[in-house]
Amino acid sequence: MSSTSRAAVLGSPIAHSLSPVLHRAAYAELGLDDWSYDRFEVDEAGLPGFVAGLDDSWAGLSLTMPLKRAVIPLLDEISDTAASVEAVNTVVFTEDGRRVGDNTDIPGLVAALRERGVEKVESAAILGAGATASSALAALARICAGPVTAYVRGEARAEEMRGWGERLGVDVRTAQWGSAAEAFASPLVIATTPAGATDDLAPAVSGTPGTLFDVLYHPWPTPLAAAWSERGGTVLGGLDLLVHQAVLQVEQMTGRSPAPLAAMRAAGERALGER
């Protein structure tokens, strides 16, 4: 094994990724001076060649879009968590040369909610139906006792979300995007939509809302998150998810636990403040 250890985040586009900031902060706090973490622009076509070219100095990879599914055929094993949503965001290279895939987004989302005191809910709502929505559903399978309503655009998306619900053992009900403001009556709302998609919903936040987990982190706060906070609701953002999933990645790649959550979050907040 090489005396130095390397890790990196791969994706396309990748320049915006905060992962290097978080992982490097962890290495510094843990005294891992011989560890490095970089970012590489890699698309689906280039992924097999990139992985094949890695030597024994590599400890792990973080994967973002569009590689979370494309990497699976290149691996020797994937965790049950990753298999449940057919998405891998973490690859660890073992000492015997095996490539093991996992998904830390799902337990990261659960851990972020637990940090804010949300451990169990009777029902929940999801805004959107993309890749992040399936991870959100998998997380809700662990903490939600009752139904989850997904607010989506079009019947194809609705059918997709119901299919994920059946696969994950979640009672998923679907509603059209036009009634998305009805989600705000739920004790937990997870917004998985792109920037700008929920902006028009902000004025509909009323009363004292429950918990909003908006997976965006730039720009922050979103109009929806700002309105939610102004009404006294609990708000989590994309940085919360990013930090908690990165904590789990650091622990898996380095074998050191616990990873320094506070130092990683502070580094992420500084980086966002400079953008």
Residues designated catalytic: 68
Query: Whole-angstrom Cα distance, residue 25 to residue 45?
Result: 31
Query: Whole-angstrom Cα distance, residue 172 to residue 14?
Result: 33
Long-range own/partner contacts, residues 234-238 (CB < 8 A, 24 or more apart): 234/116, 234/117, 234/118, 234/210, 235/211, 236/112, 236/113, 236/116, 236/211, 236/212, 237/213, 238/214
Query: Whole-angstrom Cα distance, residue 152 to residue 130?
Result: 9
In degrees and rounded to multiples of 5, residue 134 shows phi and psi of -70, -40
| 102 in Cβ contact with 90 (< 8 Å) | yes
Query: Whole-angstrom Cα distance, residue 111 to residue 114?
Result: 5
Helices (H), the chain: 19-30, 47-52, 80-85, 105-115, 131-143, 155-168, 223-230, 238-254, 261-273
Return the ∠ at Cα 13 (arms to 12 and 15), rounded to 5°: 125
